[in-house]
Amino acid sequence: MQAELDVTSEEISGHALEVEYFHSTRDWFAFAEYKDYGEDFRADLGFITQVGYRHANAGGGYFWWGDEDHFYNRLEVGGFAARSEFQDGGLLGENAQMWFQYSGPLQSSLYFEVGERTIVYEGVQFDNLFVPVLRLWMRPSALLGFRLFAVGGDWIDFDHVRPADRTRVSGSVDLDLGRHFSFELEHLYSTLDVEGGRLFTAQVPQMTAIWQFNTRTFVRAILQFTDIRSNQDLYEDEIDEIAKDFFVQLLFSYKVNPRTVFFAGYTEGGFENQDFTMTTTGRAVFLKIGYAWLW
């Protein structure tokens, strides 16, 4: 069977242009980028997620290197500015950001970023959105490591297309007890405030434990709990004011050879809202074999 597509080249014509520049030395770096995708440009393979816009950004940074007499291994400061617009010249978004990063002993790293941005969403322009970001990593020993991420400031309630203030903090603690056992505890805390009060508060703790018997075999356990409290008075649609769920997974993995892996596991989930207590929503036992042939 043969199918023919009766269209002219003019009907499916479009343009796309990408230009990038990057220069780096031991002490500084600079970059610039320009993208231009026409309205009729087709990205059938899916690697380009948006067309009909132009985007440009440029920035750079500078490094300071430390030695045994300094409190740091490396310091970095930098910044960039960016602007996106539709093909007709209408603003899509723009932002300017500056950052500072410290790297020091004990595999420690501190990253701080401040920025101001403008976002156009559903035809509404949100100006002067101030967004600070903080990241912290440290591994003081082979046994213990932890991470912290925090972002806050002005944001958008995308569901209702209105200004909002957000707080999002996540952290984790890693424990490596010997060569075989690792344990990670994570927690996410997120809020969104709009005119009239707190829209929602979300908390998501998760525990992951892995026992690595040898290079071929390990057992992993994941336990996750989600608790979201929402204010129905601030939503247009009906929602659950209390939404809780849990997820449990136990997984056994055995590598037969570099191309063949056997998995066996168990999962269970549950849900709770303001109308009923925690109820199991599903249980499953699964087996899986991954393999590959070479010829």
Q: Which two tokens stand for residue 198?
A: 């707190």
Q: How confident is the model at residue 5 (pLDDT cuts 50, 70, 90)?
A: very low
C-alpha–C-alpha distance, residues 240 and 26, integer Å: 54
Distances (CA, A) of 199 to 49, 95, 149, 159, 193: 30, 26, 22, 11, 5
Q: Which listed CATH number (2.40.170.10, 2.60.40.4070, 3.40.50.1580, 2.60.120.10) goes with 64-290? A: 2.40.170.10
C-alpha–C-alpha distance, residues 209 and 217, integer Å: 14
Q: Are 256 and 239 in contact (CB under 8 A)?
A: no
Question: Which class for 214: exposed (0-12), middle (13-18), buried (19 or more C-beta within 10 A)?
Answer: exposed
Q: Is the pLDDT of residue 9 over 60?
A: no
- Whole-model pTM: value is 0.85
Model confidence over 133-173: pLDDT tens digits? Answer: 999 999 999 899 999 999 999 999 999 999 999 999 999 99
pLDDT of residue 49: 82
Exposure class string for 47-61: b at 16+ Cβ within 10 A, else e: eeeebebbbbbebbb
Q: Are 160 and 190 in contact (CB under 8 A)?
A: no
Model confidence over 260-276: pLDDT tens digits? Answer: 999 999 999 999 999 99
pLDDT of residue 11: 61
The per-residue DSSP string of 46-103 comes to: SS----SEEEEEEEEEEEEE--TTSS-SEEEEEEEEEEEEETTS-EEEEEEEEEEEEE
Q: Which two tokens stand for residue 160?
A: 């209702």
